[in-house]
Homo-oligomer: A and B are copies of this chain.
């Protein structure tokens, strides 16, 4: 889905989160500045453990709903991307002309998905797909606020011709399930492109001002009505009377707003508005069955992405951290694939209706990192550390670790001929390895090993002594 998080990136300042990229050093030996490019950063092992857990949790939700995944190139023909992002097009990264096609880094995952669907030529006209991948925006980065030029988008979309509002309801169920999975409190703002269109018509907004007025209205979550009105009237040249009429609608926060609108005769005479309200009514009916209805707040001031959206639009707002804003966003876009798909035999544009959502995984990552104690994050999966007491016993440790590996147990040992016992304990503790297999001269002589649960805070002795033959079975038992 189109991601419009770019204007409101995480405000959470998490000290460690952005430290890597700020580290740049000029070496004495050479003039190379060793850093990552502006607006990009590395993720270390602990950060990656959290990120991969997050991606996995969300992927599980997508798969529970029957989604498949596809992969598209990191760059696309420049022509494919151009004209799809309005003013934001200036933020597209182009590749240098080194003799060949003009290419640009993908700006989101939606246009590539539409291009993919169009190239399938109808074969895949119905598809539930997710994609978790990096996108690129040559925006002014604010590293301390997590606003990056390279970031991951996490999209779920349903393409295809179906009965009204059923896939739309499932997408909202998925947003809800995904955010519940990471235990983020949220609600979902919902509006409808056609309802907005109708409302603007009823208020008397000239057709050529609709986009500009929408953009102003969309700021109502960040500025008071008076300022928005001033912008519409002073900067965008709307008459004050029309602005006031719009205000009367978009400022309504009543939970029974649909009932109120349905009693509004002027509005109900407008076909677009009527269609929008009917869609929302049907959607709410389905969302009630899916037990998501309580999360929905109809909000006529939500106007995002009008360029692409053709039906319902929504934004999930998290309420855990103030100022972090929306955490997922999307809507229905029925005409985008048609821009690539050409015409059918009768000369009509081939359209593939789509509805989807982009989950703000970078913001979720900020939230999760803020909740964590970084030292407590286990970044490797090692289950057993093979330790020698006294003499180094390198070959014996290698033999043991080989047996563990071959039995599918995640195991490690110290790459030293004669490692100090203390240093081996330290690795166990630092890497939070739950079990140690210990050998010394006694164990070796008796064909035994000692198995110790490192999570018990006892001293370095202890553990149980078992025969070499039993080792794998005992460990497997403990690990299950």
Contacts and interface: CB of A to CB of B under 8 A. Distances in A.
A70 B44 contact: yes
Interface in A237-277: none
A98 interface: yes
| Size bracket, chain A contacts | 35 or more
A328 interface: no
Nearest to A410: B64
Interface string A63-96: 1111111111111110110000000000001111
Given A48-B71, A290-B398, A93 B98 contact: yes
Nearest to A152: B71
A410 B128 CA distance: 13
Interface string A317-353: 0000000000000000000000111110001010000
Interface stretch (A27-35, A198-206, A226-234, A303-311): A27-35
A74 B134 contact: yes
Given A73-B40, A411-B64, A402 B289 contact: yes
Contacts of A339: 30
Nearest to A150: B73
A110 to B, nearest CB: 15
A167 B412 CA distance: 11
Interface in A187-210: none
Given A63-B381, A66-B412, A415-B162, A405 B95 contact: no
A78 to B, nearest CB: 9
A68 B379 contact: yes
A474 interface: no
A450 interface: no
Contact of A66 (B69, B94, B160, B382): B382
Interface in A415-464: 415-417, 431
A412 B67 CA distance: 9
Contact of A95 (B95, B417, B431): B95
A342 B23 CA distance: 14
A291 interface: yes
Contact of A416 (B33, B93, B138, B162): B162
Contacts of A160: 415
Nearest to A174: B405
A57 interface: no
Contacts of A399: 289
B349 A29 contact: yes
Nearest to A25: B342
Contacts of A134: 74
A343 B65 contact: no
B43 A71 contact: yes
A48 to B, nearest CB: 5
Contacts of A341: 27, 34
A35 B75 CA distance: 12
A73 B41 contact: yes
A361 to B, nearest CB: 13
A466 interface: no
A405 B173 contact: yes
Contacts of A96: 93-97
A467 interface: no
Nearest to A417: B163
A377 to B, nearest CB: 11
A395 B395 CA distance: 66
A101 B416 contact: no
Interface stretch (A1-9, A111-119, A216-224): A111-119
Given A20-B119, A42-B119, A70-B44, A398 B32 contact: no
Interface in A134-191: 134, 136, 138, 150, 158, 160, 162-163, 166-167, 169-170, 173, 177
B342 A28 contact: yes
A76 B380 contact: no
A470 interface: no
Q: Top 3 nearest A-B pairs by Cβ distance?
A: A27-B342, A45-B68, A162-B415
19 contacts: A27-B340, A28-B343, A29-B342, A38-B100, A43-B71, A52-B69, A64-B381, A65-B412, A66-B382, A67-B380, A74-B134, A93-B95, A163-B416, A166-B415, A167-B415, A170-B415, A173-B405, A289-B399, A289-B402
Given A51-B71, A66-B381, A66-B412, 13 more contacts: A29-B343, A32-B80, A42-B72, A45-B127, A48-B69, A65-B411, A66-B380, A66-B410, A68-B380, A74-B74, A173-B402, A173-B405, A289-B399
